[in-house]
Amino acid sequence: MRKYTMPNNIINFPKHLIRENEEKERKAYRYLIFFAMLCMTTMLCKSIFSYRLVELHGHILQAGQLIAPLWFILFYALAARDSAIWDTITKSNHVSLHAFLGGRLSCIPAYGTTGWLSLNIPELIQECEFYRNKGINAFKLRLGHPDDIARVSAIRTAMGDDFQIMVDANQRYAPEEASEISTALSPFRITWLEEPTDNKLENIAAIKKSSCIPIALGETIIEKSNFEAICRNKLTDILQLDLPRCGGITGFCEIAKIAMHHNIPLCSHLMYEVSIGLLAAFPNAHMLEYDNLLPTGIFAEAFPVSQGCVSPAKVPGNGATLTEAALRQFQTDSYHFEPKRKLFSML
């Protein structure tokens, strides 16, 4: 098997970036601006790639924790930069992201995810049939409708016993309520109950103990330490990773390895065009969240469904390359942002 390598340029970073007792906010902004803008831009523009990308990723997130109100913004910004680095690395090696990461699996079973609360029962069944016509025999609908039980019952009756049904609570229940809805839904052979409550570990533990339906969660969790605690204590049956909230591909892979170590099945959250290459790199990959939210034909690569499964793209890079037509269609004018607070004056 071909051995893929990156240029052997090692960027050295200080071991202790943050000193707890020194003007935390000022330090945080300084390190974020310095490492995120200087080091990452250097990597992208000058093709200086490092085996210590995980270390850089961790340092930036460590600094970001000190500005909690903006922390989630950091993750999205870091995810975009991090994913661009991986895309550049894999393209420079003329290999797909999936193959670069080891390419354990050739395809992943998919499930439809467009069971919105705004849809009535006939429309929900129509959505299920849309996915079944693609070979996908699994569908997720949201909870929170006055007729939740009737909606689930109608789908089970219309689609049959061999059709998988998942339900997503979007963190709307207290532990006691989640236990009640779990019991009420149990006759319908639900595949999993997703995000039944908030991300407090004690609430998750209480629901995991009382639920008669398997629990799935993870898409709104940011802290790696929480993922470690959830996996170590088996607080979920299925772990779902959101690429932006993981801080990009580096964070996704780090958390996926934790799930693999604890033998917890792994699913993705949206962005299936990129997520498929990541999921299929891990042997504990379980299911791919599949949607029809984006316009068709905007990517250069196709992601066909075959027998209910999706395969990673084989082209170099992360596999999600916009066509020239899509770039022209969605192009926007540049926008100059002038912050009211001059962050650079803090340096």
Please write the tens of the pLDDT for every residue from 297-331.
Answer: 888 888 889 999 999 999 999 888 888 888 888 77
Distance CA 229, CA 188 (A): 31
Digit-coded pLDDT (tens) for 41-55: 434 433 334 445 555
The pLDDT value recorded for residue 17 is 32
The pLDDT value recorded for residue 57 is 57
Answer for the pair 4, 100: CB distance below 8 angstroms, yes or no: yes
Which residues lie below 8 Å from residue 192, measured CB to CB, with a gap of 6+? 166, 167, 213, 214, 215, 216, 237, 238
Distance CA 128, CA 152 (A): 12
Share of the chain above pLDDT 90, in %: 55
The pLDDT value recorded for residue 78 is 79
AA identity, residue 66: L
Within a 10 A sphere around the Cβ of 243, how many other Cβ atoms?
22
pLDDT at 340 over 60: no
Q: What are the tokens at 36?
A: 């995120």
pLDDT range class, residue 75, cuts 50, 70, 90: confident
- Determine the average pLDDT of the residues in 63-73: 55
Share of the chain above pLDDT 70, in %: 74
pLDDT at 40 over 70: no
Q: DSSP code of 156?
A: H
pLDDT at 101 over 80: yes
Nearest to 10 by CA among 49, 45, 42: 49
**Percent of the chain as helix, strand, coil, to the nearest 5:** 45, 15, 45
pLDDT at 332 over 60: yes
- Determine the average pLDDT of the residues in 57-67: 54
Answer for the pair 206, 180: CB distance below 8 angstroms, yes or no: no
Within a 10 A sphere around the Cβ of 300, how many other Cβ atoms?
15
- Determine the average pLDDT of the residues in 158-179: 95
- Determine the average pLDDT of the residues in 196-225: 93
The pLDDT value recorded for residue 275 is 93
Higher per-residue pLDDT: 286 or 15: 286
pLDDT at 277 over 70: yes
pLDDT range class, residue 338, cuts 50, 70, 90: low
The pLDDT value recorded for residue 298 is 85
Q: Which of 37-46, 51-60, 132-141, 290-299 has the lowest mean pLDDT?
A: 37-46
The pLDDT value recorded for residue 323 is 87
Which residues lie below 8 Å from residue 98, measured CB to CB, with a gap of 6+? 276, 277, 278, 280, 281, 312, 313, 314, 319
The pLDDT value recorded for residue 117 is 93
- Determine the average pLDDT of the residues in 2-28: 33
Distance CA 108, CA 317 (A): 19
The pLDDT value recorded for residue 326 is 84
